[in-house]
């Protein structure tokens, strides 16, 4: 009888242990997201070209060929006036100074120290229209009343400097043409009606 009691007790303990083990089993879950991104293999970002503000006297009765040109050299830090330059001078206001366009190429897979070709489309004789100080950056410059017939031609080197770690920068300059005849109502800020397009091709990097 005692042995039976012991066996029954052991069986009860084992059953309780199995029930306890089963009762403690559980599940846990969480979510896992996957992420990825795509970027252009080659990107180019360019800042605007500013020829600055120039003092030009009122002049009438001039021949159409007596224009004033302002040349912003893309390679050098120079800006010069040419053509009809009598009493023409750059403004002394430091906020109205000139600045070349700066283009930054990134993501290139061209050979290290190679160079890429550069082209500018629609950059010749670009028409200009009156612009606000917010657009030009020429704070406090008076507004144009009567638009002058101004044009701008943008220039850049035909090839970049050496591409290093997939990146390189280059400058954009150009020539601003101010007409021979200027009225006081022409004074103010101007912008090109349409932007030129700068294209860099590194598929044939040299």
Its domain, for residue 103, covers 43-201
Per mean pLDDT, which range of 63-67, 80-84, 182-186, 202-206 is the poorest?
202-206
11 inside domain: no
* Structural domain contains residue 146: yes
pLDDT in tens, 84-127: 999 999 999 999 999 999 999 999 887 788 889 999 999 999 99
In a domain, 59, yes or no: yes
Pair of tokens at residue 196: 């030129």
Which residues touch 140 (CB under 8 Å, ≥6 apart)? Answer: 133
Neighbouring C-beta atoms of residue 194, cutoff 10 Å: 10
| Residue 30 falls inside a structural domain | no
Considering the domain boundaries, does residue 76 fall inside one?
yes
At residue 76 the predicted structure's pLDDT band, cuts being 50, 70 and 90, is confident
Q: What is the mean pLDDT of the chain?
A: 88
Query: For the chain, how are helix, strand and coil distributed in percent, rounded to 5?
Result: 15, 30, 50
Q: What is the pLDDT of residues 137-170, one digit of tens each?
A: 999 999 999 999 999 999 999 999 999 999 999 9
Please state the domain count of the chain. Answer: 1
Does a structural domain hold residue 32? no
DSSP classification of residue 15: H
Judge whether 51 lies within some domain.
yes
Does residue 155 belong to any structural domain of this protein?
yes
């Amino acid at each position: 009888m005692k042995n039976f009691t012991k066996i029954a007790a052991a069986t009860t303990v084992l059953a309780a242990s199995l029930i306890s083990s089963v009762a403690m089993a559980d599940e846990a879950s969480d979510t896992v997201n996957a992420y990825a991104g795509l970027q252009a293999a080659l990107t180019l970002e360019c800042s605007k070209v500013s020829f600055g503000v120039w003092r030009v006297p009122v002049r009438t009765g001039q021949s159409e060929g007596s224009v004033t040109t302002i040349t912003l050299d893309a390679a050098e830090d120079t800006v010069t006036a040419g053509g009809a330059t009598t009493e023409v001078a750059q403004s002394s206001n430091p906020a109205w100074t000139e600045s070349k366009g700066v283009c930054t190429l990134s993501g290139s897979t061209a050979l290290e120290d190679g160079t890429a070709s550069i082209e500018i489309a629609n950059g010749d004789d670009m028409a200009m229209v009156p612009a606000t100080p917010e657009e030009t950056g020429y704070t406090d410059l008076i507004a144009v009343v009567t638009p002058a017939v101004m044009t701008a031609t943008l220039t850049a080197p035909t090839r970049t400097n050496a591409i290093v770690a997939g990146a390189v920068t280059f400058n954009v300059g150009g020539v601003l043409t101010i007409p021979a005849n200027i009225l006081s109502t022409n004074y103010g800020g101007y912008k090109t009606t349409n932007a030129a397009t700068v294209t860099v091709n590194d598929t044939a990097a040299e």
